[in-house]
Amino acid sequence: MLHNDHIGRLALPKGNYRITILSSGRPSCAQASALFTRFLEDWDGKLPGGWRVSARTSSFVRSRGVGFHVSRAGRGGGGEGSERGGGGRHPLGGRFCPGTFRVLHNDRIGPLRLRKGRYWIVLLQRRGLGCAQASRLFARFLEDFNGNLPAPWVLEPQTASFRRSANGAGFRVKPAR
């Protein structure tokens, strides 16, 4: 991970992570990796498909014995407990805008509830929308608490994403904790 992140109450410092499958061997390593990437989009900790996150054990569990644990991989020159890993990228392929956006009070945009505080703005594509424009749009959307965004904008509340259409350019917001 390229930046500090969180999933619900589970805080995840930037760095490389090791995924350990629980006793049943389900999901597979590839599936667990894809799920972990998907769960990073659910900053509120409300996970799909019956999955639950445990901040105490850094685990994701769907049923008894079905799940996986994440732990920070060691650093350094290859001694015990260290791992060399590949780079990382944001789960949606986006890039973080510099600085943060401050939501002044608890607010909502339709079904998306936003607590007072600072938020990262993450561009979902490399082209089509800049950070300044995304920041202005987010401020404008906060003025419309009922969630009726101006056309062609669409809100995806599960990932706190705003897009110009179902698959168009856009951005998402994530609490900066």
d(CA 84, CA 104): 41
Structure tokens at 96: 């973080």
| C-alpha to C-alpha distance for 131 and 97, rounded to whole angstroms | 6
Give residue 173's pLDDT.
92
What pTM was computed for the model? 0.53
| Structure confidence at residue 80 (pLDDT) | 33
CA distances from 33 to 41, 43, 91 (A): 13, 17, 11
pLDDT in tens, 120-136: 898 888 777 888 999 99
Cα 64 off chain centre by: 25
pLDDT at residue 2 in the model: 66
7-16, 41-50, 84-93, 134-143: range with lowest mean pLDDT: 84-93
Distance, in Å, from the CA atom of 70 to the CA atom of 88, rounded to the nearest integer, reads 15
Instruction: Indicate the range of 92-101, 106-115, 123-132, 148-157 predicted with least confidence.
Output: 92-101
Confidence of residue 91 (pLDDT cuts 50, 70, 90): very low
Pull the structure tokens for residue 47.
């996970």
Instruction: Specify the DSSP class assigned to residue 137.
Output: H
Percent of the chain with pLDDT over 90: 24
Distance CA 37, CA 98 (A): 22
The yes-or-no verdict on residue 93 having pLDDT over 90 is no
Q: What is the pLDDT of residues 48-77, one digit of tens each?
A: 889 999 988 899 999 888 899 898 876 433
Q: How far apart are the first and last CA of the chain?
A: 15
Q: Give every CB contact of residue 169 below 8 A, 6+ residues apart in sequence.
A: 124, 125, 127, 128, 129, 163
